[in-house]
């Protein structure tokens, strides 16, 4: 019996770089974005028109989710976790999830 063919793996993600066409007066013209490996040298000419280009610095995008929002009571409940907070010595009250409303260390 032959093994089933393996599915092709997705290529690793590559960063997107923004370039601007350099006008004859040295100012920036039309911009475009292109996927390139980090190890690739910056383009010096437009891939289609052959016009000179320069790489335009762009701030990286980061996920806006914070650790605080990941651990919010609403998110923990949605993901099926139960969270208790200490309300007094030996007493914990449920803030998210299923289970007893209060835990006591009697």
Report the alpha-carbon distance of residue 59 to residue 11 in Å, rounded.
24
pTM, to two decimals: 0.48
Do residues 20 and 49 both lie within one domain? Answer: yes
Q: What is the pLDDT of residues 36-92, one digit of tens each?
A: 988 899 999 999 999 999 999 887 766 666 667 778 899 889 999 999 999 989 899
Whether 1 is in a domain gets the answer: no
Whether 78 is in a domain gets the answer: yes
80 lies in which domain range? 67-104
Q: How wide is the angle at C-alpha 42 spanned by C-alphas 29 and 51, nearest 5°?
A: 35
Q: Into how many domains does the chain fold?
A: 2
Biggest CA pair distance of the chain: 82
Q: Give the model's pLDDT for residue 17.
A: 92
74: its two tokens: 């609403």
Do residues 23 and 46 both lie within one domain? Answer: yes
């Amino acid at each position: 019996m032959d093994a089933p063919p393996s599915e092709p793996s997705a290529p690793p993600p590559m960063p997107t770089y923004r370039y601007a066409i350099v006008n004859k007066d040295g100012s920036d013209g039309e911009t475009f974005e292109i996927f390139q490996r980090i190890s690739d040298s910056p383009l010096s000419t437009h891939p289609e028109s052959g016009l000179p280009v320069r790489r335009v610095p762009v701030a990286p995008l980061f996920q806006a989710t914070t650790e605080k929002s990941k651990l919010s009571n609403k998110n923990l409940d949605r993901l099926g976790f139960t969270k208790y907070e200490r309300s007094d010595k030996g007493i914990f009250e449920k803030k998210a999830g299923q289970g007893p409303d209060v835990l006591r260390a009697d």
